[in-house]
Amino acid sequence: MGSIVFTYTVAGPGILDVAVDFSSLRATPDLAYLANEQGARSFTLYSDSSGIQRYFLDVPDTPDQWVPTTAERTCFTAEARKLRFCVETQPEQAKFVGRERYFQRRWSGLFSLSWAGTDIELARPQGVYRYQVTVEALP
């Protein structure tokens, strides 16, 4: 189907500009998801530019696993580590935020599922899509 090229540019201290180039694909996918995730053990507090702030749970099969949002800036904070990472997109960009942390069993054995973050949903992506990731030390 082709290749997708990710270019990461350090735009300043803790600021990463991301460019995702879909132009080499020979076909246009219906949907693409750009996952921006960290370990769920540390990142438990969610906040966004719409004013929402809440803790996500460690319980499997909760609504916390895939929450839709169009907030321009979504952030997850690791309070004990005094660290926050944020994903910033154009206004009204479809995204899902969530967090899962638990063990699962499948045919190959037991494995740990641990993620917290923002997944950007792109419908029929073509050309170059740009967004920004920031990592901030908190006081």
How many H-runs (helices) and E-runs (strands) does the chain carry? Answer: 0, 11
**What are the structural domains of the chain?**
5-137 (2.70.98.10)
User: What are the tens digits of pLDDT across the range 90-136?
Assistant: 999 999 999 988 777 777 777 677 899 999 999 999 999 999 999 99
User: What are the tens digits of pLDDT across the range 8-63?
Assistant: 999 999 999 999 999 999 999 999 999 999 999 899 999 999 999 999 877 666 76
Q: For the chain, state the CA radius of gyration.
A: 16
Structure tokens at 30: 């219906």
Name residues whose C-beta falls within 8 Å of residue 90's C-beta, 6 or more positions apart in sequence: 72, 131
Please identify which residue in the block is written with the tokens 């949907």: 31
